[in-house]
Chain A
Amino acid sequence: SAVISQKPSRDICQRGTSLTIQCQVDSQVTMMFWYRQQPGQSLTLIATANQGSEATYESGFVIDKFPISRPNLTFSTLTVSNMSPEDSSIYLCSVEWRGDGELFFGEGSRLTVL
C-alpha cells in the first residue's frame, strides 16, 4: 500500500491565523483527497486535489477558506485560512492508489483553534 505522511500531526492555533498541512506520498497517485473529521463525527470530503489544476471543492467548502495545492503526483497541501474554533478538527489526506476505489489515509493532522 501507499505510505502517506502528513505534517504537522497536531497543532494548536490562534483564531484568525492560517495553517498549512502537508501530505507526501511515497509513490505517484492520480487521485488525492482531503477530508475533515470533526470531533465525534464521520469523514466529510473537503475537496479533490487535482494535479496541475485547481482543486474540486465539495458543497460547503470554498477555495478562499481551504486553498489546496497539488504540484505533482506525490505531494499536496491544504491550508486552513483565518481559523476559528469551528475549524478544530482532524484533517486527513487520502489517496486512491490501486484504481479500485479503496482509499488509504494519512495519520491525520489534529488542529485545535483557540
Chain B
Amino acid sequence: QKEVEQNSGPLSVPEGAIASLNCTYSDRGSQSFFWYRQYSGKSPELIMFIYSNGDKEDGRFTAQLNKASQYVSLLIRDSQPSDSATYLCAVNQAGTALIFGKGTTLSVSS
C-alpha cells in the first residue's frame, strides 16, 4: 500500500525563523511531489511541486527532493504568523491521483 508519512506536529517556530517540514513516501515509482497548505476550514492550496532531485526555490519556500532516500521536505524562510496552517505532502505517478500524508501543523508565533 502506498503511504506518505509526515510528523503531525505541531511544529512551533518564532516569527522570522526557518520552518522545516519533512515527508517520506513508500512508493519508489512516485514521480511528482507536492506541498499543499490548508488553513482551518478551507480547501488545500498548492504551495510548491518538485519532480527532480535537488532543491527548488520559490520566494520564501524551498522544496527538497531525494528520491534515493524517498524523502521530500519544505523549508519556509522568514516564517510569518500567516504561515500558520497544516501542510500536506502529496505524491503521485503520472496519470494517477495524489496520495496525501496526514499533514504537519505549523504554528508561527509573533
Contacts and interface: CB of A to CB of B under 8 A. Distances in A.
B partners with A: yes
Interface of A: 31, 33, 35, 41-45, 48, 59, 92, 100-108
B95 A31 contact: yes
Contacts of B88: 42-43
B97 A45 contact: yes
Nearest to B49: A102
Interface residues of B, number: 22
B34 A101 contact: yes
Contacts of A42: 88, 100-103
Interface string B67-99: 000000000000000000000101010110111
A108 B40 CA distance: 12
Given A43-B44, A43-B88, 7 more contacts: A31-B95, A42-B101, A100-B49, A101-B34, A104-B46, A107-B42, A108-B43
